[in-house]
Amino acid sequence: MKETCGKVGRTTFLLLAGIARIWELGSEVGRFFLTSFVRPKTIPRETFFRQMVLIGIDSTAIVSLVGAAVGTVLALQAAYSLKTFGAVMYTGSLVGVAMARELGPLIAAIVICGRIGARMAAELGTMRVQEEVDALTTMAINPVRFLVLPRVLALAIMLPCLSVIADVMGMLGGYLIGITGLGINSYVYISKTIDALVLKDIYTGLAKSFIFSILIALVSCHQGLTVSGGADAVGKATTQAVVISIVLIIVVDCLATAVIYYALPT
Amino acid sequence: MAQPIIEIKNLIKKFGDRTVLDGVHAVIPEGKITVIMGGSGCGKSTLLRHLIGLHRPTSGEVWVDGKNIAGLDEPGMNDVRKKFGMLFQGSALFNSMTVGENVAVPLKEHTDLSPEIIRIIVRVKLELVGLTGFENFMPHEISGGMKKRVALARAIALDPKIVFYDEPGAGLDPITASMIDRLILDLSKKLSITSVVVTHEMKSAFRIADQIIILQKGKVLQVGTAEDIQNSTNAYVQQFIQGEPEGAIPFKQTSEAYLKGLLDT
């Protein structure tokens, strides 16, 4: 019993300490971001654009594919239940709302977490191990400004874009199943989707996606920059970056949904 | 002797219970090449990391160019850092950038020069280390010795007063290592840069040093010119120079403790 309590206590402590360090990193990035309005050179432009291409353009195909697949599955499963109420034609509304509010941002975030979060942690971790981060420090260049800031900004711009793509592709997947497999009239499907969606669905989805992007970038960069040791430590940091990011994304998603749809006045 | 540019006073560094630097006193003269030598684990790399502000001392003072960097905050430290360059043991080039971009990093970050001027400076610096025409190569496309030279070009990009070298000859063949030594000598004489070299390679140390500091167990054992060190009567220094496994430091360091440990269990 005592042992279990001790273990729980230690784990909680480590968790809180980790969150505190990520918060610290986040506030440092925030300060540099504010400085960049006065001194535009604060943002290392080349890294920023390189990261935007890597995160945005290079990930479009995979996010589209996963988004479409999820939309398709959702339509198929929803139709099964809706059939019992004779409401198959509402499949479009269900897929549209679910994709825009929840699944689009979530799917995009999880794909990017695996693709980009892991890459950031491994890249920065290797840089740490090979003394490149120390080299930056001795050149009087702040590693957070030079390495973390452009990655956070690039992800914060690109992830909401990717989640819109996932939204659209998911609705498209649902539409194709709806008109072919479920026999819903194309006009009915589209009009039901448009009727069900309100602007709030879209922008809450985008807001969530923005929060996820900050989480992924900060957690991954933090894991990378705090590597100490060799190849083994880089591997561990990479795994942890992905696992911690995904857990945080889902927990934060839960909280955000509760706050946006239940706590705030409509 | 020239004016001191670095003064280390009673520097103590502890990692937990382990004392790595145990009251180091040293003076590094301006415009000269000072070599810090010692066996593995004697604290020479730790000492170097204090000089460049990557470690903060547990107690003691480190004066670099008239400022006690032990008490400086990060912005203050960065002002000092702009006056020196550092060559890391593994070169520490940025792998995602070309050779030219690597050398240009400090110039882009700390000056407002136009890209054309930066390109010219990069070429001049690469010429100084004998690598003209390699601007567009990636670090993984060039040899270890060339990487060291690119790293050196990057370290001197901002015309520093001091350059620190961490094991400049490590992992290089004797010819390339002596070429790097030549470069250190050249830079020191031509540009009157103060050089601080951490190494355990005797040949290289005797070739380049104006002053040698020998560390042992976190303390300064002896300071002198290459000649002084070669003629030293200290048993440890002699063992170190000759590279003997037996001497002042026995090959088996813990035989008694080992026996006791075996019998106790």
Q: What is the per-residue pLDDT for A75?
A: 93
Q: Is the residue at B74 inside a domain?
A: yes
Whole-angstrom distance, CA of residue A248 vs CA of residue B189: 57
Q: Is the residue at B193 inside a domain?
A: yes
Closest CA to B146 of B179, B119, B115, B118: B179
Q: What is the per-residue pLDDT for B1?
A: 54
Residue A53 confidence class, pLDDT cut points 50, 70, 90: very high
Q: What is the per-residue pLDDT for A167?
A: 95
Task: Identify which of A131, A141, A146 has the shortest CB distance to residue B90.
Answer: A131
| B137 and B257 assigned to the same domain | no
Indicate which of B96, B110, B161 best probes the interface with A, i.e. most A CBs within 10 Å of its own CB.
Answer: B96
Mean pLDDT of the A202-214 span: 94
* Nearest-neighbour CA in chain B from A218: distance (Å): 21
Contact across the interface for B92 and A137, Cβ inside 8 Å: no
| B149 and B165 assigned to the same domain | no
Taking CB atoms and an 8 Å cutoff, what residues of chain A touch B72? none
In chain B, the residue whose alpha carbon lies closest to the alpha carbon of A146 is: B109
In chain B, the residue whose alpha carbon lies closest to the alpha carbon of A42 is: B109
Contact across the interface for A134 and B82, Cβ inside 8 Å: no
Task: Identify which of A41, A123, A131 has the shortest CB distance to residue B88.
Answer: A131
Q: Is the residue at B69 inside a domain?
A: yes
Q: Is the residue at B88 inside a domain?
A: no
Contact across the interface for B81 and A138, Cβ inside 8 Å: yes
In chain B, the residue whose alpha carbon lies closest to the alpha carbon of A130 is: B92
| B8 and B67 assigned to the same domain | yes
| B151 and B166 assigned to the same domain | no
- Full domain range(s) for residue B151: 93-159
Indicate which of A49, A138, A142, A149 best probes the interface with B, i.e. most B CBs within 10 Å of its own CB.
Answer: A138
- Least confident segment among A48-62, A210-224, B205-219, B241-255: B241-255
Q: Going from the first residue of chain B to its last (265 residues), give the mean pLDDT of each consecutive group of 10, the final group possibly shorter.
A: 83 88 90 88 87 89 89 88 90 92 93 93 92 92 91 92 90 87 89 89 88 88 88 84 73 67 74
Contact across the interface for A138 and B94, Cβ inside 8 Å: no
Contact across the interface for A135 and B92, Cβ inside 8 Å: yes
| B65 and B9 assigned to the same domain | yes
Per CB distance under 8 Å, which residues of A are interface residues toward B? 41, 50, 123, 127, 130-132, 134-135, 137-142, 146
Task: For residue range A141-163, list pLDDT tens digits in order.
Answer: 999 999 999 999 999 999 999 99
Q: What is the per-residue pLDDT for B53?
A: 87
| B13 and B53 assigned to the same domain | yes
| B61 and B170 assigned to the same domain | yes
Task: Identify which of B54, B74, B90 has the shortest CB distance to residue A130.
Answer: B90
Say which CATH number the domain at B196 has. Answer: 3.40.50.300
Q: In this complex, is the C-beta atom of B159 within 8 Å of any C-beta atom belonging to chain A?
A: no
Rg (CA), chain A: 21
Q: What is the per-residue pLDDT for B226?
A: 86
| B166 and B221 assigned to the same domain | yes
Q: Over 60: is that where the pLDDT of A43 sits?
A: yes
Residue A36 confidence class, pLDDT cut points 50, 70, 90: very high
Indicate which of B82, B93, B95, B109 best probes the interface with A, i.e. most A CBs within 10 Å of its own CB.
Answer: B109
Q: Is the residue at B23 inside a domain?
A: yes
| B72 and B165 assigned to the same domain | yes
Q: What is the per-residue pLDDT for A265?
A: 72
**Share above pLDDT 90 across residues of chain A, in percent, rounded to a whole number:** 74
pTM (2 d.p.): 0.87
Task: Identify which of B81, B90, B96 has the shortest CB distance to residue A140.
Answer: B81
| B37 and B79 assigned to the same domain | yes
| B79 and B164 assigned to the same domain | yes
| B7 and B69 assigned to the same domain | yes
Taking CB atoms and an 8 Å cutoff, what residues of chain A touch B85? 138
Mean pLDDT of the A125-148 span: 93
How many domains is chain B built from? 3
